[in-house]
Chains A and B, each alone.
Chain A
Amino acid sequence: MWPAIKLSLELATVTTLLLLLLGVPLAWMLARCHGWWGETLAALVALPMVLPPTVIGFYMLILLGPHGPLGPLLARLGLHTLAFSFTGLVIGSVVYSLPFMVQPVRHAFRALGPGPWEAALTLRAGPLDAFWSVALPLAQGGILTGAIMCFAHTLGEFGVVLMLGGDIPGRTEVLSIVIFNAVDNLQWAEAGRLAAGMAGFSFLAVLAMFLVEKRVSRLRA
């Protein structure tokens, strides 16, 4: 049980950090392009939100496998597949949780409008400088919301891990899988304990998110 909790927390942490790195710039880009291709890209990014996780997991299983596009590269690295590995779970979770980072951050950037950005440019800040010193701190509410959502969502993530993980204790057996197995084997006491813990944690995460939003909106009022 503890290795699974530890693994779940690790997976959620790594995924959230990677999504901060990838998702925030992507959200910035999507917030600033208004053409049809921008919307197309945004829809593509949002897709994991509506697709069943098992569909994503299945695609991942094929994409990360020896016959996928990464196959030759993996073979050169001496790897057979990225499935059944922590790396594979991270990739799957990043794809799956991407919209949960990009949507709130994109909204936050959009809500800023061009005003602060243009003001920063007229004050000698280059684009990168303006992004760091103005856009990013002003969108901090959205970014924090995105990070909490990603963390909680990855922690509770089941379908993708189920399809991709291979249930290896200590490596890919996360908390949600342990709960699933416990239910499957009619070990309801165990399942109930873990599920209650997870529900409690998720509640705290969502509560934290709402409190952050409230604080940010009060700051701007």
Chain B
Amino acid sequence: MRGRLKNKIRYGAVLALAAALLPLAPACAASVSVAVAANFTAPARELAADFQHATGDTLQLSFGSSGQFAAQITQGAPFEVFLSADAARPEKLAKMGLGAPGSVFTYATGKLVLWSAVPGLVDDQGKVLRAGKFAHIAIANPQAAPYGAAAIETMRKLGVYAALAPKFVTGESINQTYQFVATGNAELGFVALSQVIKTHKGSAWRVPQSLYTPIAQDAVLLKPGENDPAARAFMAYLKSPAALAVIRAYGYATTH
């Protein structure tokens, strides 16, 4: 408790300093600090620009691993909104009393794709998995990233898991998994559709939704943002048609 208070004081001091250094910032506009799962980086930037344009409030975006963010939030990190890559962590934080009750909702549903930087390697049926003619297949750490769990689920359903397990290379995040494949070190891998939707490089197979549990990415309004109108506004904005259009354009499904 005292540690958290100390952190708040420290944060306050930092803010005061920032305020002193930025006398030109509009006095009325608020700033919301948002922790964003790495896989949502590109759409989050676009959403932030749009939100700021619409409301005048600015977003301070931090990108990183959902697991690390969750650990930091339990230690008093002063984020106001957390856009997680999964549903489990926001729920856990809310239960711990670190999030506003009832604020958790699914802002995007991730789509899994089997992708290779080599054109023609991945066919549009995913038969490449059965042939198994490759040295490494990259997945995200299934404990840390839902995309990793979804990849495992898919391979189990296809009955290729046991055969492919020795070829797994695991990225700590879905971004690193993408890196392994993009640099050619792993010939192919399960990544997020959002990562490859804007490139026309290589070959991909969009894994049918029937093969894996939907990857719900949930948002939660955290305690420090509970009484901040700007933070609440951003939570509401995420459900707006304008926001949903952006999110869909990046290869996510939406439920609202």
Binding site for B on A (CB under 8 A): 58, 61-62, 64-67, 79-81, 83-84, 162-163, 166-168, 177, 180-181, 183-186
Contact = CB atoms under 8 A, between A and B. Distances in A.
A171 to B, nearest CB: 10
5 contacts: A62-B183, A67-B183, A80-B136, A84-B136, A162-B172
Contacts of B143: 181, 184-185
Q: Chain A binding site: helix, strand, loop or mixed by DSSP?
A: loop
Interface string B74-100: 100000000000000000100000000
Given A62-B183, A64-B185, A66-B184, A180 B170 contact: no
B184 A163 contact: no
A166 B138 contact: yes
Contacts of B68: 183-184
Contacts of A67: 183-184
Interface in B229-243: none
Contacts of B144: 181, 184-185
Given A181-B141, A186-B70, A166 B171 contact: yes
Given A84-B169, A168-B168, A65 B183 contact: yes
Contacts of B185: 61, 64-66, 80-81, 83-84
A175 to B, nearest CB: 15
B41 interface: no
A81 B184 CA distance: 8
Interface of B: 65, 67-68, 70-71, 74, 92, 134-136, 138, 141, 143-144, 168-172, 176, 179-180, 183-187
A186 B65 CA distance: 13
Nearest to A168: B169
For A65, A162, A166, A186, the residue with the greatest tally of chain B CB atoms inside 10 Å of its CB is: A166
A26 to B, nearest CB: 28
A207 to B, nearest CB: 30
A184 B187 contact: no
A81 B181 CA distance: 12
A166 B183 contact: no
Contacts of B183: 61-62, 65, 67
B94 to A, nearest CB: 15
Contacts of B71: 183-184, 186
Given A81-B136, A83-B180, A184-B143, A166 B186 contact: yes
A62 to B, nearest CB: 6
Contact of B172 (A61, A84, A167): A167
A180 B173 CA distance: 12
